[in-house]
Amino acid sequence: MRFTEFDFHPVLLEGIEASRYENATPVQEQVIPPILAGKDIIASAQTGTGKTAAFLLPVMNKLITNKTHDKVNAVIIVPTRELVIQISQHIEGLAYFTDISAIPIYGGNDGQNFVAERKALELGADIIVCTPGRMMAHLKMGYVDFSFVEYLILDEADRMLDMGFQDDIRFIIGHMPKKRQNLLFSATMPEKIRKLAREILHEPVEINIAISRPPEKIVQKAFILYDRQKLPMLQDILAHTHFTSCLIFCSSKQQVKELTRTLKHAGLKPEEIHSDLEQTQRETVLLGFSSGRIPILVATDILSRGIDIDTIDLVINYDVPHDGEDYVHRIGRTARAEADGIAFTLVGEEEQHKFAAIERLLGKEVPKANIPPEIGETPAYNPQARRGRGQGNRRPYPSKQQRHKKAP
């Protein structure tokens, strides 16, 4: 289905065309019509499905055609500052030919930014994109007027609840009129999301695009190793895999820092991103990574849902994420916008049970990659055995003629 078939306003269609959108994704096809019809929505859609445009476009179209006041019309609440920036940039592109205004509100910056945010909130804007904590801080100051809000969007709702933002969200919603259109998007639908939906949604249309599974076009492989073998295996992958942009995930910021230093000493050019960096530093790194100037980015899970860069063609899990949903979101950073992608996971001996749980969620085994002989003897993949008791196993490695640049 083409975007021209949604009967959007001509000025919005200009922005859509300028953003090089042509055909709607499945989530956009299913979500846009009921939003245009004024229905509340609860939608389950995995990362990379185009859900941001799915809620932005119909809301923006309604603002263009039906706006009746100059107060805040729409509030979009998301879990991370990176996602605030990403959505705000998305709005900026789509709204280029319109008079729609949007304000990003997020923490982690200096007091001068807070003052600028306050001034913008007092003047009003069509769309506010915010993190819960920062928005709540402004509301408590008494100068924010949400009494005319017509549209509330909660994006990555499961992530926000996992991060403990339930009370913040309820506080923000308490400042809005009860009569409004509510749109809730979540990658998963646990009971706590259902409970929140029952509190804020009115006769919602429920849309389930797909269960949380990575796109089939992502080439997944796992490397079964001892922990001491992870670094040489990573270096081997980076040396023998063709990629444009590589995103490496670690579970802690300390590990991110140490791995980045080690890779730099090895002659590579990685950068790091984690919560210890100032917001301006994080934005500079992300800009360099998205533009291609930084080929390798080492990050915590702060980026597993907060980055939308179409050029990432290699994702490496330096360690196994804590649960299957985190795995899906991590590797979902690649193979976006119809592109192909590769996702490799380095599985330590003590992590085998976690990786087996991920495979159960996926409903299939992830292929186990061959290990080069210079890495040494590796443990067998036996997640049912007691931790730390795997038997040694030397895995054959293909010849140079057999080695494929995209699949070590």
* Domain C-terminal end among 182, 208, 234: 208
Q: Report the side by side order of strands in the sheet with 296-299.
A: 218-224, 341-347, 312-317, 245-249, 296-299, 270-273
Does the residue 399 lie in any domain?
no
Spatial separation of the C-alpha atoms in residues 169 and 157, rounded to whole Å:
10
Amino acid identity at 337? A
Return the DSSP state at 407: B
**Residue 9 belongs to what domain range?**
3-208
Instruction: Please state, as a whole number, how many other Cβ atoms lie within 10 Å of the Cβ of residue 406.
Output: 14
Return the DSSP state at 21: -
**Are 67 and 199 members of one domain?**
yes
Cα torsion angle, 134, 137, 143, 144, sign = positive
Spatial separation of the C-alpha atoms in residues 179 and 269, rounded to whole Å:
52
**Are 230 and 176 members of one domain?**
no
Spatial separation of the C-alpha atoms in residues 324 and 299, rounded to whole Å:
18
Spatial separation of the C-alpha atoms in residues 99 and 12, rounded to whole Å:
10
Instruction: Please state, as a whole number, how many other Cβ atoms lie within 10 Å of the Cβ of residue 291.
Output: 11
**Are 138 and 11 members of one domain?**
yes
Reduced to 3 states, what is the DSSP secondary structure of residue 27? helix
Spatial separation of the C-alpha atoms in residues 298 and 294, rounded to whole Å:
11
Q: What averages of pLDDT result for each successive group of 10 residues across the chain (408 residues)? A: 93 91 87 96 77 94 89 94 88 93 85 86 92 95 95 92 91 96 88 91 87 75 96 96 94 93 95 86 90 94 71 93 79 75 95 89 90 95 62 38 40
Transcribe 238-285 into DSSP letters: HHHS--SEEEEE-SSHHHHHHHHHHHHHTT--EEEE-TTS-HHHHHHH
Spatial separation of the C-alpha atoms in residues 179 and 313, rounded to whole Å:
44
Of 330, 229, 244, 248, the residue nearest 293 (C-alpha): 244
Does the residue 401 lie in any domain?
no
**Are 264 and 344 members of one domain?**
yes
Q: Taking a C-beta distance cutoff of 8 angstroms, is the pair 312, 336 a contact?
A: yes
* Domain C-terminal end among 162, 180, 208: 208
Residue 376: CATH number of its domain:
3.40.50.300
pLDDT for residue 392: 39
**Are 223 and 304 members of one domain?**
yes
Q: Report the side by side order of strands in the sheet with 181-186.
A: 102-105, 127-130, 74-77, 151-154, 181-186, 41-44, 205-208
pLDDT for residue 209: 73
- Which helix (DSSP H) or strand (DSSP E) does residue 342 occupy? strand 341-347
* Domain C-terminal end among 208, 240, 263: 208
Does the residue 407 lie in any domain?
no
Q: Taking a C-beta distance cutoff of 8 angstroms, is the pair 242, 330 a contact?
A: no
Does the residue 408 lie in any domain?
no
Does the residue 177 lie in any domain?
yes
Token readout for 227 is: 């922990």
Of 110, 96, 104, the residue nearest 13 (C-alpha): 96
Q: Taking a C-beta distance cutoff of 8 angstroms, is the pair 312, 333 a contact?
A: yes
Distances (CA, A) of 359 to 50, 86, 371: 25, 31, 20
pLDDT for residue 210: 57
- pTM score over 0.75: no
**Are 301 and 190 members of one domain?**
no
Contacts of 143 (CB under 8 A, 6+ apart): 118, 121, 122
